[in-house]
Structure formats: C-alpha cells, structure tokens
Amino acid sequence: MDLGVAPGEFVGLIGPNGCGKTTLLRVISGVIRPTVGEVLLENQNVSRMSRRSLGRLLAVLLQDSATDMAFTVGEVAAMGRWPHLSTFGVETRRDRQIVREALDVADIAHLADKPITAISGGERQRAFFAMCLAQQPRVLLLDEPLSHLDIGHQLSMLSLIRRLNRQLGLTVLAVFHDLNMAAEFCDRLAVLHEGRLAAVGDAADVLKPQLLKQVYRTTLDVMVNPITGRPQIVISARETLVRHNPL
C-alpha cells in the first residue's frame, strides 16, 4: 500500500467494516509496527521515533479511547500536553492556558470538572478531541470522529476540523462511514477494500456507482449536491429491501 498525504491536506479514509481502516491508522501512528515497508512522517521513520517526539507531531483520536478512567474532562484534555512537558512533568501556566483553549474550541469547557465517566458518548468524544487539540500536533489522525454525535454536533465537529485544517495548515487523515460527510469536507478520499487501496482521488472521481458496488456490495446511486456541487450518495430503502429480501 502506498498512500501519501500532503502537508495541510484533509483526506478521508472510507471503506466497509473490516477492510483495515483502523489498523492503517494504528500503523501510521506507530501503535502497530509494519511487517513490510515504512511509515514516514516529515521524512522520519515513525518506528524509529521516540513516543515524545512523535507526540509533538502527531495526535490520534481512536474509536476505543478509554472511557473508564477516573479523571475529569479537564484532566483528560490536559493529557494532551504530555509530549511538551519537562522531564519532571510539571505543567506551566502556558500549558494550562492551552488546555483551556482546547476545551473551549471543542465546546466542552463547561464540563471540565465532570468525571469522564459521567458524561454522554458524544461529550466524551469531544473531550478526547480536546486532548488532541491540546497536544498542538501538525498531523491529526481521527478514527470515526463523528461516532456518538448527533447531526448538529457532526457538522460542528467537521466544520471545526476543516477550519483548523485551513487556518493552521493541520494535516488530517480521518476515517468516515458517512460518505456524504466525507465528500463534502475532505480534499481527497482514499478507498480501502479487503486491506488494499481501491482508489484515491477527488470525491467526484472516487464515488462512482461501479466502485461503490464493488467495495460495499450494494447498489448505490450518486448525484450532485445542488448546493455545493459535491457528489452525494442517494439510497432507497424500498429498493434495498427488494434487492436483498426478494419475496
């Protein structure tokens, strides 16, 4: 597999369940060491970087971020400062300011003193996103950042990610199941199928009915969003029921 993400690019990683999207993020982040090939981050081999050096460049929001920790939302966000702390792990006034700003940006500051176990799934998602922001990375890996979020918070989250991407030059690689959201917000899409890259490119070039049928094993129609001009997946519940459950 050969996938390159340019500095300041927002790339969406799509594909069916079990195709290897989360595994790929774990390999890129250094959690899993590749058996073949290498992962380069700013021309450095990720496998040879210290966790602290890697943490100054790369932040990761995974699906299975621990939710049974005995910490408050503010303490979870403050964990993002770990790569930047001194050897003795002492927070400075600047560190605390960065954490407060991250909580504000993630719209979770009002819950800073709440235990992470006492808030909703969507709020926990934003708390861990605040931790990523507090890390001040140059590259952000997101595994289904919209999970547990209602439509309003989904749009708010993606608008925020894209704003950070555009204004700060933050490089983003994010896993999506919602193809329409991915098409609207990402610069390019990378399609994974059975552990391999099936296609990479602009959403208009990637989201083709034939490829979608091959990858997702179902018939999907694609139209153009009349407002944004981006491709949009159209589904029909009746046609799907007839196709998969013939009487």
CATH number of the domain encompassing residue 38: 3.40.50.300
Does some domain include residue 225? no
Contact criterion met (CB below 8 Å) for 192 and 176: no
pLDDT at 211: 94
pLDDT at 242: 45
Q: Tens of pLDDT along 210-228?
A: 999 999 998 889 999 999 9
Angle CA 163–199–37, to nearest 5: 90
pLDDT at 2: 87
pLDDT at 104: 95
Does some domain include residue 120? yes
Alpha carbon dihedral 197, 200, 205, 206, in 10-degree steps, equals 40
Q: Tens of pLDDT along 134-184?
A: 999 999 999 999 888 899 989 999 999 999 999 999 999 999 999 999 999
Which of the four pLDDT bands, split at 50, 70 and 90, describes residue 64?
low
Helix, strand, coil % in the chain, rounded to nearest 5:
45, 20, 40
Does some domain include residue 233? no
Domain that holds residue 156: 10-202
Q: Worst-scoring range by mean pLDDT, 123-137, 146-160, 230-244?
A: 230-244
d(CA 201, CA 203): 6
Does some domain include residue 59? yes
pLDDT at 247: 47
Does some domain include residue 124? yes
Which of the four pLDDT bands, split at 50, 70 and 90, describes residue 35?
confident
Q: Worst-scoring range by mean pLDDT, 13-17, 82-86, 167-171?
A: 82-86
- Taking each helix axis from N to C end, the angle separating 93-105 and 121-134, rounded to the nearest 10 degrees, works out to 140
**Is it the case that residue 235 has pLDDT exceeding 90?**
no
**Is it the case that residue 245 has pLDDT exceeding 60?**
no
Does some domain include residue 209? no
**Is it the case that residue 107 has pLDDT exceeding 50?**
yes
Tokens coding 100: 């407060």
Does some domain include residue 247? no
pLDDT at 68: 67
pLDDT mean across residues, the chain: 89
d(CA 28, CA 48): 12
- Number of independent structural domains in the chain: 1
- DSSP 8-state assignment for residue 177: S
Q: What percent of the chain has pLDDT over 90?
A: 65
